[in-house]
Structure 1
């Protein structure tokens, strides 16, 4: 909170609504969020100097997340540029075979996401393989996208990706705690994705030979990819090191609990070791540069999200929403997933949704007695329900990957939402019981 600033809830809503409208009008998301924050502050009664203070404070609040996201870029760059992600995807599909084609595609996307690759990039990696399988087995593009997107959502909540880092930072816990807490919801999300895709396999347009062959370099370049063993070195090291402390806490092993590490240096370390294991150490500068470039848009959006988060934090919007929840008799434990759903829908972004949700409603959520881990897990799961709307990049990237028109892509939105809703319900039930 910025001293001497008190902004009305209505002004915060107007600022947020303005940002959403601008995003829908294809204005750069970072500028849209910044402008929404400025307008909200000014009409809410803040002076020009205080408006600057609110924006700067909001940006400062996300610096920890930004540093960790940049570190995650090293791992993402290595996994994608080295061919390790492609090798993992191909191996899963080949090993499970045609009889479990839909499961193999969903699982491949889930694992690619889980090892630190962004969900749109994970879909791009698996899509050429999916189109080849779909053309051969007569599985519709709709079913394929639901499998890939649903599997990606499941992997996204158990990964060291920006969304996990952001929600963990928002509630002052380690990303590994969110990853472990989200595992059971992720499994249910994967199962729902496979179930829905199986039902839909005969609905909609089928991949053509042109669709399957246009991007189909996977088999041709197979010999150039690293082996599956070497491809798994980086993600295994990252996951093992990140999980040592949480597992020690769960099992009450004091020696393990003393092993406190941070994703800020674990992810780059694992990436470099994995790169050396693949014999590609000479490419370290190129791959890390690529990873940094892929993170640039995410970092910029986080700055904008921090700004509008500062607007909401310095308003009484959270207090008004809490008052409504109490008046309606709704359980306070539902505030976290609801905040995730609404903020991610507004920005069409999981990462931006959880950072807005945690920064704006974090204190109010914890005041209900919700534990930080439960709040983080349920909010992140909620953010996957409708984060794939047309005003976000993910919608269009995946449409292009699957050679779908906007109309065809819209048909999958409901089914993707059912996957996210499944994970949210499971997360809420799990933490409500345990």
Structure 2
């Protein structure tokens, strides 16, 4: 099996077929599987070699899958307990309506950064945004740019599936990738606020009927000091390994605490702090349920990644880069941009980019950590396209039509592009 090389033409056809089927609303798992099968067969593999290609590809993502499932406990606790809502409301109230767009972007960034999925983060903050927009006259376009842009910034420094995939794809500590993404994330947040501020009066306004009043539900949310326990514990524990490395403490060098242990533990401690231990079955079941679609897509991404990694596609791309004379460093962000656009998913794009182009990127002389951050940032540029669920979930949260939601995509790309440019300049050329 190791000796087979699938034609790059087959790999491209398989990837194109998978994208076409996703656009036609076929379940992404089956779309990616079918793309991998057809691409391998067209690329010269026989039935047995095709099967082995898909199996090896799916096996390569199992480390990511295990960590994503473990992260479900923290995500379930943050979402089901009302802790995420408490954090968001506290930030907005602290800034006030005059600085609403800063508050909304920052709130979405923070609750995404502490382990809430980006579409869920937008869903959580959207009712607050609609209420503020109705009072202040800020347009829906500006509000969603603020929310989505802030979410994208938080997503590259979060213990979410996309960051886990970036770390695992280059055999890195999750915390290292999170820390390295902080500077690009700050620039992304700033760009989101600037764009939203420029768009305040552009587009449809929030009608009175669109404002949701949930005062009764808010009364059941935990206080802030308890709501922040779970994410705080997660951050502290995730920082242990980097601190040991920075301080060069030899006696603790072998002490490695993986995210697979840290994220569930943080969730459980958070439950205890909020007095919600009676809901442990409910919260963990909810977290698992929310992670399941992501896990299935990751497995599908592993299959198509197996196809591409067993093809000579990466070699062809490297040859093109060499022929054009541009720096090979650009392969990292380009791979992230293209694969995330193809799948309309940050995490799936990262999985395919790292699995398919990781070796080629490292052969260009890029360090694994720098490569991970550039691929990850690149995956946020055009990942919110209509063939993915993020596009529709976030549009519905703001009561937008398809046309209104499409008008946001370009501004989201500017935010993601800003983070990618900063990451590429900083980690590809300066540091």
TM-score, structure 1 as length reference: 0.98
Measured after TM superposition, the shift of residue 430 of structure 1 is 1.1
Does residue 154 of structure 2 align to residue 155 of structure 1? yes
- For 2:338 and 2:275, the matched residues in 1 are separated by 45
- For 1:247 and 1:322, the matched residues in 2 are separated by 36
Q: How does 1:13-412 map to 2 (within 5 A)?
A: 13-213=12-212, 216-217=213-214, 219-254=215-250, 257-412=253-408
- For 1:257 and 1:409, the matched residues in 2 are separated by 49
Q: Which consecutive residues of structure 2, in runs of 5 or more, have no partner in the other structure?
A: none
Aligned length, in residue pairs: 430
Which stretch of the first structure deviates more once superposed, 247-256 or 345-354?
247-256
Q: Give a deviation string over 1:170-200, Cα, whole Å, max 9, x none.
A: 0000111110000000000000000000000
SS in 1 for 2:204: coil
Which stretch of the first structure deviates more once superposed, 61-70 or 242-251?
242-251
Q: Give a deviation string over 1:206-240, Cα, whole Å, max 9, x none.
A: 01111113xx31x3322211010110001011111
Q: Give a deviation string over 1:321-348, Cα, whole Å, max 9, x none.
A: 0111011111111111000000000000
Q: Give a deviation string over 1:155-177, Cα, whole Å, max 9, x none.
A: 00000000000011100001111
RMSD over aligned CA atoms reads 1.0
- For 1:75 and 1:260, the matched residues in 2 are separated by 20
Measured after TM superposition, the shift of residue 433 of structure 1 is 0.5
- For 1:429 and 1:256, the matched residues in 2 are separated by 34
Q: Give a deviation string over 1:247-291, Cα, whole Å, max 9, x none.
A: 332344446644421110100001000000000001001100000
- For 2:148 and 2:170, the matched residues in 1 are separated by 27
TM-score, structure 2 as length reference: 0.98
Q: Which consecutive residues of structure 1, in runs of 5 or more, have no partner in the other structure?
A: none
- For 1:202 and 1:254, the matched residues in 2 are separated by 57
- For 1:267 and 1:417, the matched residues in 2 are separated by 30
- For 2:412 and 2:242, the matched residues in 1 are separated by 30
- For 2:224 and 2:365, the matched residues in 1 are separated by 45
Measured after TM superposition, the shift of residue 404 of structure 1 is 0.1
Q: Are the counterparts in 2 of residues 17 and 36 from structure 1 also a CA contact under 8 Å?
A: yes
Q: Give a deviation string over 1:87-140, Cα, whole Å, max 9, x none.
A: 000000001111210000000000010000000000000000000000001100
